[in-house]
Structure 1
């Protein structure tokens, strides 16, 4: 197994952990926001672990970006949909998604009311997970 294939498989498999944690955080946030429930330590930890998993996935992606044969910097990169996707499109979508999830977590920490904490997580994590899903669905076959 090469270094590239190891990180590719790790990055690919770790996405399921990210998706599960973010979806769990989303469900709890919407239930808390719409059900006007208190924001407890369990919410805080789940939201934090979801954000940490997204950041870990990002670090794995950075490693892949520099060792992947699919990432190319040449005149032909933008003409080929596969190399364009891996060199430009994928990481841009993922950085935006990660930034949104991080902003949501930060806004949640700063909010005073439980409803505002849940709302920040619900909105920002939802937009982030939608971008992640779109980024995964656009992977060229």
Structure 2
């Protein structure tokens, strides 16, 4: 079961990165070119929010069934922090992904309250781009690219 969920989590991550990149790029381009906010822009930002939240749920399931999770009771937090692989999978990756999802959620929520196009695109471009950068900073690249 762990391997199946790990594969789903890894492949779904490609979708998250792609959609978040497209949503960020869309917001930046429309902000710079001063285009009006349209229903398509709303759907793109909403889709980025949805796929990232689904990824978070898959990640939570994976986190708690992972063989790494046993390290908390077997080794303790001190040993986890000394081991770079355990620290990445048990602390750094989950924490930065949660921060990324929070940024996406805050950006999406704030942009809905704005009435004109420029502030909407400005909020989306800032929050979604920050979320993308945070997300990319803690992907376990060696494991992710070896699927």
User: Unaligned stretches of 5+ in structure 1?
Assistant: none
User: Unaligned stretches of 5+ in structure 2?
Assistant: none
CA distance in 1, matches of 2:83, 2:23: 37
Match of 1:49 among 47, 50, 57: 47
Aligned residues between the structures: 139
TM-score using structure 1 length:
0.93
1:115 counterpart = 2:145: no
Over the residues paired in the alignment, what is the CA RMSD in angstroms? 1.6
Q: Hey, which bits of structure 1, 4+ residues long, moved more than 4 A?
A: 137-141
CA distance in 2, matches of 1:25, 1:43: 8
The answer to whether the 8 A contact 1:85-1:140 is kept is no
CA distance in 2, matches of 1:130, 1:137: 14
Q: CA deviation at 1:24?
A: 1.0
TM-score using structure 2 length:
0.89
**What SS does structure 1 have at the residue aligned with 2:68?**
coil
Which residues of 2 match residues 98-137 of structure 1 at below 5 A? 98-136=101-139
2:25 aligned residue:
27
Structure 2 vs 1, CA of residues 139 and 77 (structure 1 numbering), >3 Å: closer, same or farther? Answer: farther
CA distance in 2, matches of 1:137, 1:65: 14
Q: CA deviation at 1:47?
A: 0.4
CA distance in 2, matches of 1:17, 1:77: 30
Higher fraction of helix: 2
1:92 counterpart = 2:77: no
Q: CA deviation at 1:88?
A: 1.0
Q: CA deviation at 1:140?
A: 7.5
**What SS does structure 1 have at the residue aligned with 2:138?**
helix
